Every structure is written in C-alpha cells, then in structure tokens.
Amino acid sequence: INVANENSEYCTHADKNKNCYLISAGNFSEDCLYGSIVISSKDCVDCFYCDNSELCFECTDIQHCYHCDYSQDLKNCTDCRFSYDLAACMDCFGCVGLRNKQYYFFNESLRREDYFKKISEYDLKKKDTISEILTRLEALQKSVPRLFCHQLKTEHCSGDYIYGSKNCFFAFDAHNCE
C-alpha cells in the first residue's frame, strides 16, 4: 500500500515519501534509496530502521543521526563511522559502547588534529580497507559489554527494540504498542 508518494518508484508500504527508490515501509522520507523502515529521513542509502536521520549510508537501527556510515545502534550521533552502540557522540571512528564522546578512534581519545590525521590514513574507497576496518571493529565489539536488549519507556515487555510500549511479550521493533 502506497499513499501520497512523489517520484518514488518501487516503494512498498510507503507513505508521503519524495524522490525515494526501493524503500520498504518508509514514511515521510526524501531522497532515500534501498532501505527498509526509513522514517522521516533524508539522503540515506542502504539503511535498515533509520529514524529522523540524514546523510547516512549502510546503517542499521539509527535514530536522529547525521552523516554516519557503516554503523549500528546509534542515537543522536554526528559524523560517526564504522561504529556500534553509540549515543550522543560526534566524530567517532571504529568505536563501540561510547556515550557523549568526541574525537575517538577505536575507543581511544585523540586530539582533534590527531583524529583527522588517523582517518586520512585510510582509503575508504577500497573494499579491502573497509573489510579491514570492519574486522577490527568486530574484535572491539567482543571486548565491550553489550546491552541485552534495547528498550525505552516500556512496562512489562520482553523482546528487543521496544519503545514507548506496555505489556508486549516476545515483541521486536515495537513502538507505542499496548
């Protein structure tokens, strides 16, 4: 079912999108490609569950992010790449489990100049470089404690990625449910 989409071909279960292509379950988004559950986002490509984000690529489960790439479980982040489980972070590369941090490189704090110098050493256009970074990130993920589930403002719920819900059991990707 598609409702009030503009110039958005091959979109399914889409509502009020503009200039989107191959989006499934996307609403109120603009200039997004190849995504699923893309909500109120702009210029996002290859994202799964992308909410109120802009200029993101290859991201999963992100909310209120700007210019983030190859990342998962980010909230309120800007210019973060190859990262996992960050909140309110800026300029983080290859990081895991950080909160309110800036200029971190694989969970190491750096001065601004050193941070950008380290990133410039990587040729991010090469597939081998990206694979190398993702392998290093995976090793770091194994060393940092991981949340057992993602829930916020829930009551009597079990499952994962549940927000603003009550009395939900074995629920996944549930928002404002009762």
Sheet strand arrangement including 21-24: 21-24, 33-39, 48-51, 60-63, 72-75, 84-87
Q: Tell me, what amino acid is at 34?
A: Y
- Reported pTM: 0.90
**Residue positions counted in the chain:** 178
pLDDT at res. 31: 97
Q: What is the pLDDT of residue 46?
A: 98
CA 2-49-177 angle, 5° bins: 80
pLDDT confidence tier of residue 178, bands split at 50, 70 and 90: confident
pLDDT of residue 176: 83
Do 13 and 22 form a contact (C-beta atoms < 8 A)?
A: no
Q: In the predicted model, is pLDDT for residue 71 greater than 80?
A: yes
Q: What is the pLDDT of residues 110-167, one digit of tens each?
A: 999 999 999 999 999 999 999 999 999 999 999 998 888 888 889 999 999 888 899 9
For residue 170, give every residue at least 6 positions away whose Cβ sits within 8 Å of its Cβ, in sequence order, or none: 158, 159
pLDDT tens, 27-54?
999 999 999 999 999 999 999 999 999 9
- What order do you get walking across the sheet with 90-93 strand by strand? 78-81, 90-93, 102-105, 108-109
* pLDDT tens-digit readout, 72-90: 999 999 999 999 999 999 9
